[in-house]
Amino acid sequence: MVYLSPPTSSHDATRTYLTAYREILANRRTRANTPSAVVLLAALEVDSLCACRMLASLLTRDGVQHRIEPVAGYPALVALKEQLSKSQELHTLVLLNIGSMLDLASEDWFGEFGQGVRIHVIDSRRPRSLPNLFGVGESQECIVVWDDGEVAKLAEERKAFEETMFDESDSDSEDDDDEEEEEDDDDDEEDGEGTPRKKRKLNGGAAKRERREKRDEYLARLDKYYTAGTSHGQSCAGTIYVLATALERADNALLWLAILGLTHQYLSARIKRSTYEQMYEVFSDEVARLNVSVPGTINDAGTKQQLTADDTGIRPSEEMRFMLVRHWNLYDAMYHSAYVMSRLRAWNEKGRKQLGGMLAKMGFSLQQCQQAFIHMDQDLKRSLRAKMDNYAPEYGLIELTYASFTRSFGFRLQPLSAADVVEGVGALLEAAEGVKLEVELEGGRGGGEWFGGSKAWQLPTRSEGKENRPLAPPPAKEGEKSTQQAEEEQREQKEEEWWVGNFWAAYDALGMNINLLRNSLPLAMALQRAIVRQGTALISKRAITQTKSFRLATIREGPDLALFAHPSTLSRLALWLVDATRNWVQSMQVGRKKRLLPFVIACAKEEAGTFVVVGVTGAGEMGDVRPNTFNLAFLEARDRSGARTRQVTFDTSVVEVNKEDLHKFLETLAMRAA
């Protein structure tokens, strides 16, 4: 077993992130230093993307050649494993937000790679596979888990795992002893009462029963650990930043990426508000350490200060819970916010009138609110925060801000908050290629024939010869496969090419490609507009049904069907529905215990003949997060119903179900959950 603790100093003698990183550097000197020797596998999400960018930067500074491989899900990981197993140069494999729940040392995964390859696991998902943490043996020694301090809290689970692992052989011998006891029962009856032989057998039977009871307790403890639901620990980017700090290489670029990883966890409801605020304090100290203290920091959406043309500093800020408010218009930013939607129920006409009435009460005309925020009157922007504090509580908007950070980009771009960048990069990951989205041109609202309108968003072509460009798969030989199977593989290959292309677009945007980062903001607005449009349609058309254990919505048609067939986008829609309907659902539960049911949403994937199904848990308060138990629920529903399913991503609460099996899958899921 090998798990690493966070380093307390650069001279810490125990096994820490530092020792693991130095081993990678040592292999560079003693073995081949080629791009195939160190391979980074990154999941397609913002946190792992930031961690990948950070680790690649550290390796580059140390002269370690490496290769980055985006991995969309388990099928892609299996295919990539087959390729890597044939590499003679590979000595280090780093999994970023991949593999924490897999028994990586087994023959099904990386057990056959041999002693010369180290598998480093940096994953925020919980629970983690206990064999990766506490397993013994030659193959287990090759698995290195980067821990965030949680292993120290798993003392009971560790003892249960070790007892059951080492007691497996003993259980077989106990069964044999039980058979011998049954055969000798007649002999025991011939002995006198209380003979030594009888006493020995009685004592032996009691000891065996005690061992069985103890073993059952250990198994129950392990079952409780694995069935508690999926949650998240320290962000992957945060782990790499701890390494950079220990190496004394922390700078603004790495700090900003670590902040983005934390912000992504918070905005996607992976961590609680208390956890976010705790980490915010840590990063606040780092921001103060690495940035010169200046007056006039960015405190709200309407106050910003650009010091110089080359200012790239990071500053604390109080962010409003309005979607991309600095880059959108105030009305749309509020309307497309799940928080405002929940409080005002803005999916209906009455709620929209309330929103307009609140802005009018504040003295903001509709004309001002519907033009780009940057072009609003300066007096209105300066007074926005104060007027929101005065009038918003009357409409139930009492938690309009949260602490965050903002970074300046000099003369190239106006300052962006961490949430702005997360939304833009996330939109690139989900919709840069593969789907069609119309983005609104500047002046599109009320611009008329000459100045208004929209256009289809198009990803700028990446330059040829880029490092880490994915290799094209070998062409299939004709006549080897049936036409249907060939078409299916061709569709999957095209889809994977889209996902991988989106990864590199987002990767470039994080690498200070300002034009791409700027262009990602309209894409994020269009994506959020589609989410709100679909969500409000489901609510207003009463397309959400309720079972005893969860709420269910199914999307079978519509203009955005291809968009919501993407697991990440469908998950965002589910989270938006949970937030938007929170107060509405609780207000209907009068006279009984209020509880927010989990949400299951399914979207048709027409080309594949399947449905993508996502399950998210609900929390009674915004900022509260509960473990997601749909991972095991989906597995049990599949086994009981016999439905044909496929795990397409590393998120175990997302599954792809055959169209013909969807009804029985959901029916079994409802019965199981009840």
- Work out the number of other CB atoms within 10 angstroms of the CB of residue 235: 30
pTM for the complete prediction? 0.88
Average pLDDT for 379-407: 90
Q: Is pLDDT above 50 for 12?
A: no
Give just the sign of the alpha carbon dihedral 106, 108, 110, 112: positive
Q: Is pLDDT above 70 for 591?
A: no
Average pLDDT for 212-240: 91
At 66-98, the pLDDT tens digits run 999 999 888 889 989 988 888 888 889 999 999
At 475-497, the pLDDT tens digits run 545 455 567 677 777 777 787 78
Report long-range pairs for 209-217 (Cβ below 8 Å, ≥24 apart): 211/167, 211/170, 211/174, 212/174, 214/163, 215/163, 215/164, 215/167, 215/171, 217/160
Q: Is pLDDT above 50 for 302?
A: no
Q: What is the CATH number of the domain that holds 73?
A: 3.90.1640
Evaluate whether residue 97 is within a structural domain.
yes
Q: Is pLDDT above 90 for 462?
A: no
Q: Which of 188-192, 342-346, 572-576 has the highest mean pLDDT?
A: 572-576
Interatomic CA distance for residues 97 and 131, integer angstroms: 17
Q: Is pLDDT above 80 for 331?
A: yes
Q: Which helix (H) or strand (E) holds 167?
A: none
Q: How confident is the model at residue 467 (pLDDT cuts 50, 70, 90)?
A: very low
The residue among 277 and 107 whose pLDDT is bigger is 277
- Match 């959400």 to its residue by tokens: 544
The residue among 530 and 296 whose pLDDT is bigger is 530
Q: Is pLDDT above 90 for 204?
A: no
Q: How confident is the model at residue 465 (pLDDT cuts 50, 70, 90)?
A: very low
Interatomic CA distance for residues 37 and 273, integer angstroms: 40
Average pLDDT for 426-446: 78
Average pLDDT for 637-651: 89
Q: Is pLDDT above 70 for 400?
A: yes
Q: Is pLDDT above 50 for 540?
A: yes
Q: What is the pLDDT of residue 598?
A: 87
Evaluate whether residue 525 is within a structural domain.
no
Query: From edge to edge, which strands make up the β-sheet containing 416-417?
Result: 314-320, 401-407, 416-417
Domain boundary residue, one of 258, 279, 294: 294
User: Would you call 367 exposed, middle or buried from its count of C-beta atoms within 10 A (0-12, 13-18, 19+)?
Assistant: exposed
Whether residue 7 has a cis bond before it, omega within 30° of 0 = no
Cβ atoms 90, 37 nearer than 8 A: yes
Domain boundary residue, one of 268, 294, 320: 294
Tokens representing 341?
């939607």
Domain boundary residue, one of 274, 294, 314: 294
Interatomic CA distance for residues 368 and 374, integer angstroms: 11
- CA 458 vs. chain centroid, Å, equals 26
Q: Is pLDDT above 80 for 507?
A: yes
- β-pairing, 118-122 vs 92-96, is parallel
Q: Is pLDDT above 80 for 52?
A: yes
The residue among 259 and 139 whose pLDDT is bigger is 259
Q: Is pLDDT above 70 for 674?
A: no
By mean pLDDT, which of 133-137, 205-209, 277-281, 292-296 is the weakest? 292-296
At 17-46, the pLDDT tens digits run 998 999 899 887 766 677 788 999 999 999
Q: Which amino acid is at 171?
A: S
Evaluate whether residue 290 is within a structural domain.
yes
Evaluate whether residue 246 is within a structural domain.
yes
Evaluate whether residue 332 is within a structural domain.
no
The number of C-alpha atoms within 13 Å of 421 and in the hemisphere containing its C-beta is 33
Q: What is the CATH number of the domain that holds 615?
A: 3.10.310
Cβ atoms 294, 453 nearer than 8 A: no
- Work out the number of other CB atoms within 10 angstroms of the CB of residue 646: 15
Give just the sign of the alpha carbon dihedral 70, 74, 79, 81: positive
Evaluate whether residue 57 is within a structural domain.
yes
Q: Which of 400, 399, 401, 404 is nearest to 284 (CA)?
A: 404
- CA 177 vs. chain centroid, Å, equals 49
Q: How confident is the model at residue 193 (pLDDT cuts 50, 70, 90)?
A: low
- As a whole number of Å, the CA-based R_g of the chain is 28
Domain hosting 220: range is: 1-165+215-294
Percentage of the chain surpassing pLDDT 90? 37
Q: What is the pLDDT of residue 448?
A: 40
Q: Which amino acid is at 458?
A: Q
Evaluate whether residue 136 is within a structural domain.
yes
By mean pLDDT, which of 53-62, 363-372, 615-624 is the weakest? 615-624
Counted domains in the chain:
2
Evaluate whether residue 377 is within a structural domain.
no
Q: How confident is the model at residue 554 (pLDDT cuts 50, 70, 90)?
A: very high
Tokens representing 58?
């550290």
